[in-house]
A and B are shown apart, each in its own frame.
Chain A
């Protein structure tokens, strides 16, 4: 007997009503659809099962069991196998993918307190390393599966098809999803560009079948949690006096130095961050439109630092008929920035015994022993703040037309533009007056630098890139379970950039301190000036083809080939062919697997690919180029000269990357468990290396060497509910990467030294490893010197190093491997909970196995403030076995050793977020579909032994990585947010 069942279907994520959801009786052909308000009504047998389905959402089957009201919430299929992922010039169902591709939802990025979307990827994906910077607007350093080259390890960004080096111009709120393409079979189609991995961004499109307005806002406070522990005035006086005494120098006269200034407190602050996105979308019968505007504003935790971002996006798609679709999108981006005028090092280094200032125009200068090297940080801050007008524009857009014909064919042409224009103006004001505090009985004197002049500087940089993609694709499902999807295409990219800069100082009339005057023509043309300019252009062109074939959805094949050419290389070395093959086997669909309980889906993958890498390589390195060399002076006559800008290698060609991937995807226990496992082995040969010529300051690029990266990536997930209202998930991920330089310049007896010899890259070890002495202790006495291996000039109080080669003395031959700056282990943990309207998220993230070089402590050129570890410096037998004597004439203690290394391991509570979502029922006729409010904390707590502002490894420099030179703090962020949909 039939009963009438009715109910509402809502989106589990945002509680909004879902129209057009198909509601079917299982096993029958009858059914209905939900209306515009998500409501349905259907007459069904009382014991039947209702099937709710909607494209992109997980199908739900619900037994009627005599209920007359069945409300259903449907989850987006983002975790599902039906989800579509970007695979390069197209998309593919996750189920059919044979490579290693991970996805991150845009919502997970938009609700994080960051103005740069990449920074929120940290810890979310195995195999992806993101090192954030606290500098407002700064791009994070991103590495995918280790370091494959000595030249550049940056990934390629692909935003809705356009290739780019960064996605700084995107508003986090505009991103639908981010796919990370990591293995060679996924990236081979990008030819010479994708070798370091690809971050493919899909921006939001108009929502399904309705008009909707969404507004998101977030406001947060950033706070520096770890200051660097330096001595206060008392500690400083004690240590400097001890140092002078050890140098047998006269004591310093501290009489007039009565200050006790914490310079870090003076330049750091709690800073605001605010992001906003308003988007309006509409889908009609033949067209869809999305308009979005965004505004992000981030103050830096260093005073006066600020970055603002304004973004406008318009996406439009028009279906002319069933077969022809045209559309396009454009993003307009504007940013302004106020960089901080003061370096954090000056606050760490400035002596605390100096007071700050007398008045707004008069500051105290540092004592004589550091006056020439360290300035008053607050004076620098106040003098040079708000003296620049920096900003830029970027316009990124595309237009496409797509024609379906002969049923199975689609031809699509897309043209892209990416235009950038940066414009900076700045001003050098007159300096403040400085009080030199009297030493050795002298009175205070006041200085004003009469030689200083005001000056203005203008800089313009322009960048343009044009890309075209034309693809013909064929999709066919044949009888007998054969499915073929094939694509052939042609693409080209042209990029060019120019920069100009000029500055002029004034020699007679001071230029006023007002932005209205900061143009070069304010100073008379006869005044001294400096002008510069540069530019370059390059292009690449490629043709590609890919076939995806599957048999009975069980056996998957993916094959790619691309022929690519790049103008960066000499004509005879310009062209190359690359390709990949990927195989997949959905084991769980085999008959024999049916008997295995608990495992819902199991796929095994294997892929191989060969590709080229020309990333990060300057244009035209095969040609010498000319640069200005020093001038010759004869009497007062000046003559110019030139030299080759670098030494060209006409045989230069791209790096060759070969990689294999083995993987496993599994879902088990009624889809409550998900697991992805990858093993990879990737080798780069013919590495493009800048070879340092010992007797030449010019660089020489040539191909040499081979690097292997092997690794494991594990991503696990557990989703379940307790009762009907409480849902939770736990998703850990883990990755391990082992890097080995198999060879580097073996035929020329060569290794690469980085950061003044601290880092070494040579055959047989990991790239850029730390190379130096191992500290075993401190020589406590002359007796120690007699019985321990030592250097000829070692003295009690000096660092004792390990005699690695066992020859009884300490010599440069005792330097050895001390660790790597690149974390081999990284991991993340994501826990979510939901209870009725409440949601909660906890994210943790960490790395392990790397070392950090405290380079900020190594300066010997002047007396700097001491970090508090020096309070334990050796002062006589038995006083310390770690900290050497305070004596900066003892060069042995400044040799690079484990004394200057600290463990880079850290674990951080990356995010803790609590939200509550109000459903449509609460708002009645206001039109609000959904409203979520949340409070969030980021970087709340970090466990680490590192002593800097942040333990995040500084890995941007491949050959000289891992040095902490007073890196900008990555602050904790406390934020509140709102997300409302009409």
Chain B
């Protein structure tokens, strides 16, 4: 048999990497972090609009913007199959780690592999529980594959402890730093950071502070990366990065090793500006939410040129004219690609752009939020200031330090800071729901159909209910 030392895998991979690599592959899949992900986490929020031309995307996407989403929504079903497909791969890998006697590996190697897989499984369930609420808990490989058809849903009361367990095991077993050949590979920091968000969502403030501080105190991360650089190609896997879906492309493999994430949000123009679908455009409500002269605004919102007001990209290209050359006034600047990459790959779709799922400023703000709720006001103020200081980039005239010690006032300031710092980064809708302000915020943003008792969760996809032959039950209100 093989041992970990001589196992015939390339480039220093571990013995279970044939399974684990497939799971990483799924993180880039269309159904996991591309179309449905963007639509459900961002277009549903008040910060983004559907974009593109009025009818593009059809009822599937228009209803994600304007509610209610219908049970036959294809994006909902895609998310379900995307995350559950990834969970199935995780269960297969865990089964191999535990039971495959053909692979001989050190207990430590097994423990690390298990930790890595359980991070992804925990993360997938965290997405599912926030998107759909009651979901079936599938945590093993079924002897009879057909039995999967009829697993009943578990309530979030059951799902959340399961997520916490997976992520806790992951945090204990994962390394602090990825091996040199594996930039962006999962770490203990990613597990603790994700766990912080899981606790925060459940209002477990103390627990959230505990794991957030484990990240903060790990010494692996800081806020030294300029805000403008974090989202660029040269900002990938920076000191800011905690969990970043890795993607790459070359002229010979333009899409296979990449993700369609940037392309879906790319500028919808012609010729050189035919970069994508033009979906997920920053809303006027987000635009209005910035404090005066906040430099983060320009890094988040890419403006089309208008008659008499030429706009330029990060790379000094002249933007096409709205409305004659592009159908939208604003695009997501955080996914805007570097022209030198476009030229090298010979493609405008930006499939090489990594997806930033969790970054250090997010963890710092989570800590601040939890600290404020537990009465550790000064700690909250300090953490908030860390983020604002970086945004200020040395310009003392902007973004004054928040000094209020009023719990509510500070809560609002932290909420506002999350909105701005993490704008277009897929947390806004979930944040509105967990803060209990979704009705107000979305109605204020013109989404009059939003009904929190129904629309906070997506409908369980009708296709899945049908496949289960009605074992799965629809969410309330649908």
B258 to chain A, nearest CB (A): 8
Tell me the bound Cα distance from A99 to B178 in angstroms: 72
Inside 8 A of B58's CB, which chain A residues have their CB?
859-862, 888-889, 894
**CB distance B469 to A640 under 8 Å?**
no
Tell me the bound Cα distance from A702 to B149 in angstroms: 14
B174 to chain A, nearest CB (A): 14
Tell me the bound Cα distance from A629 to B18 in angstroms: 9
Interface residue SS majority, chain A: loop
**CB distance A439 to B60 under 8 Å?**
no
Q: Does any Cβ of B come within 8 Å of A923's Cβ?
A: no
Inside 8 A of A702's CB, which chain B residues have their CB?
146
Inside 8 A of B19's CB, which chain A residues have their CB?
641, 643
Inside 8 A of A528's CB, which chain B residues have their CB?
250-253
Q: Does any Cβ of A come within 8 Å of B63's Cβ?
A: yes
Inside 8 A of A29's CB, which chain B residues have their CB?
none
B153 to chain A, nearest CB (A): 12
**CB distance B346 to A861 under 8 Å?**
no
A372 to chain B, nearest CB (A): 7
A728 to chain B, nearest CB (A): 55
A441 touches which of B66, B256, B324 (Cβ 8 Å): B324
Tell me the bound Cα distance from A751 to B274 in angstroms: 43
Q: Does any Cβ of A come within 8 Å of B359's Cβ?
A: no
Binds B, one of A300-308, A631-639, A868-876, A907-915: A631-639
Q: Does any Cβ of A come within 8 Å of B53's Cβ?
A: yes
Q: Does any Cβ of A come within 8 Å of B206's Cβ?
A: no
Inside 8 A of A642's CB, which chain B residues have their CB?
18, 22
Q: Report the interface size for chain B: residues with CB under 8 A from the other chain.
A: 89
**CB distance A700 to B248 under 8 Å?**
no
Q: Does any Cβ of A come within 8 Å of B456's Cβ?
A: no
B25 touches which of A632, A889, A891 (Cβ 8 Å): A632
Q: Does any Cβ of A come within 8 Å of B92's Cβ?
A: yes
**CB distance B246 to A812 under 8 Å?**
no
Q: Does any Cβ of B come within 8 Å of A244's Cβ?
A: yes
A161-196, CB < 8 A from B: none
Q: Does any Cβ of A come within 8 Å of B271's Cβ?
A: yes
**CB distance A751 to B469 under 8 Å?**
yes
Given A632-B20, A749-B150, does the pair A695, B87 have CB atoms closer than 8 Å? yes
A710-751, CB < 8 A from B: 745, 748-751
**CB distance B185 to A634 under 8 Å?**
yes
Tell me the bound Cα distance from A756 to B464 in angstroms: 11
Binds B, one of A229-237, A310-318, A445-453: A445-453
Q: Does any Cβ of A come within 8 Å of B287's Cβ?
A: no
**CB distance A630 to B28 under 8 Å?**
yes
Residue-wise, chain A 751-768 has the 8 Å CB interface mask toward B (1 for contact) of: 101001100101000000
Q: Does any Cβ of A come within 8 Å of B72's Cβ?
A: yes
Q: Does any Cβ of B come within 8 Å of A647's Cβ?
A: yes
Q: Does any Cβ of A come within 8 Å of B331's Cβ?
A: no
A750 touches which of B146, B277, B325 (Cβ 8 Å): B146
**CB distance B248 to A633 under 8 Å?**
yes
| A649 (CB) vs chain B CBs: closest residue | B145
A864 to chain B, nearest CB (A): 10
Tell me the bound Cα distance from A750 to B146 in angstroms: 9
B251 touches which of A507, A640, A643, A762 (Cβ 8 Å): A507
Q: Does any Cβ of A come within 8 Å of B409's Cβ?
A: no
Q: Report the interface size for chain A: residues with CB under 8 A from the other chain.
A: 72
Given A451-B346, A889-B63, does the pair A630, B26 have CB atoms closer than 8 Å? yes
**CB distance B11 to A637 under 8 Å?**
yes
Q: Does any Cβ of A come within 8 Å of B56's Cβ?
A: yes
Q: Does any Cβ of A come within 8 Å of B292's Cβ?
A: no
A631 touches which of B25, B138, B467 (Cβ 8 Å): B25
**CB distance A639 to B13 under 8 Å?**
yes
Tell me the bound Cα distance from A391 to B399 in angstroms: 70
Inside 8 A of A247's CB, which chain B residues have their CB?
54-55, 62
**CB distance A445 to B248 under 8 Å?**
no
B229-257, CB < 8 A from A: 236-237, 246-248, 250-253, 256-257
State the total of A-B contacts with C-beta under 8 angstroms.
227
| A629 (CB) vs chain B CBs: closest residue | B22
> Which of B23, B184, B324: most chain A CB closer than 10 A?
B324
Tell me the bound Cα distance from A70 to B392 in angstroms: 117
Residue-wise, chain A 635-658 has the 8 Å CB interface mask toward B (1 for contact) of: 111111111000100000000000
**CB distance A637 to B181 under 8 Å?**
yes
| B272 (CB) vs chain A CBs: closest residue | A450
Q: Does any Cβ of A come within 8 Å of B465's Cβ?
A: yes
Q: Does any Cβ of B come within 8 Å of A892's Cβ?
A: yes
**CB distance A692 to B467 under 8 Å?**
yes
Q: Does any Cβ of A come within 8 Å of B295's Cβ?
A: no
Q: Does any Cβ of A come within 8 Å of B323's Cβ?
A: yes
Q: Does any Cβ of A come within 8 Å of B375's Cβ?
A: no
Tell me the bound Cα distance from A527 to B60 in angstroms: 39
**CB distance B17 to A641 under 8 Å?**
yes
Tell me the bound Cα distance from A640 to B11 in angstroms: 11
**CB distance A748 to B146 under 8 Å?**
yes
| B252 (CB) vs chain A CBs: closest residue | A528
Given A447-B271, A894-B59, does the pair A643, B252 have CB atoms closer than 8 Å? no
A499-544, CB < 8 A from B: 507, 527-529
Tell me the bound Cα distance from A250 to B252 in angstroms: 42
A316 to chain B, nearest CB (A): 54
**CB distance B145 to A793 under 8 Å?**
no
Q: Does any Cβ of A come within 8 Å of B45's Cβ?
A: no
> Which of A753, A863, A888: most chain B CB closer than 10 A?
A888
B325 to chain A, nearest CB (A): 6
A262 to chain B, nearest CB (A): 23
A205-254, CB < 8 A from B: 243-244, 247, 249-250
Tell me the bound Cα distance from A696 to B29 in angstroms: 14
B146 touches which of A244, A700, A757, A812 (Cβ 8 Å): A700
**CB distance A749 to B55 under 8 Å?**
no
Residue-wise, chain A 871-912 has the 8 Å CB interface mask toward B (1 for contact) of: 000000000000000001111101100000000000000000
Q: Does any Cβ of B come within 8 Å of A438's Cβ?
A: yes
Inside 8 A of A79's CB, which chain B residues have their CB?
none
**CB distance B248 to A888 under 8 Å?**
no
Tell me the bound Cα distance from A440 to B53 in angstroms: 13
**CB distance A792 to B181 under 8 Å?**
no
Inside 8 A of B323's CB, which chain A residues have their CB?
439-440
Inside 8 A of A792's CB, which chain B residues have their CB?
68, 477-478
**CB distance A748 to B25 under 8 Å?**
no
Given A439-B324, A528-B253, A647-B145, does the pair A756, B463 have CB atoms closer than 8 Å? yes
Q: Does any Cβ of A come within 8 Å of B222's Cβ?
A: no
B271 touches which of A250, A442, A445, A529 (Cβ 8 Å): A445
> Which of B13, B54, B85, B348: most chain A CB closer than 10 A?
B54
B49-108, CB < 8 A from A: 53-60, 62-63, 66, 68, 70-73, 81, 84-85, 87-89, 92
Tell me the bound Cα distance from A500 to B468 in angstroms: 39
Q: Does any Cβ of A come within 8 Å of B147's Cβ?
A: yes
Q: Does any Cβ of A come within 8 Å of B10's Cβ?
A: yes
Inside 8 A of B182's CB, which chain A residues have their CB?
634-635, 637
Tell me the bound Cα distance from A895 to B13 in angstroms: 48
Q: Does any Cβ of B come within 8 Å of A406's Cβ?
A: no
Question: Nearest 8 pairs between A and B by C-beta?
Answer: A630-B25, A860-B58, A528-B252, A442-B324, A641-B21, A635-B183, A249-B54, A629-B22
Listed by A's residue number, 13 A-B pairs whose Cβ atoms lie within 8 Å are A630-B24, A630-B26, A631-B21, A634-B183, A635-B184, A637-B181, A638-B248, A792-B478, A861-B58, A863-B55, A889-B55, A891-B60, A891-B73
Residues of B at under 8 Å CB distance from A? 10-11, 13, 17-26, 28-29, 53-60, 62-63, 66, 68, 70-73, 81, 84-85, 87-89, 92, 138, 144-150, 178, 181-185, 236-237, 246-248, 250-253, 256-257, 268, 270-271, 274, 277, 321, 323-325, 327, 346-348, 449, 462-469, 471, 474, 477-478
15 further A-B pairs in the complex, CB-CB below 8 A; given A634-B185, A635-B184: A438-B324, A447-B270, A529-B252, A634-B246, A635-B236, A647-B145, A691-B146, A693-B88, A695-B84, A696-B148, A748-B146, A757-B466, A862-B56, A889-B55, A891-B70
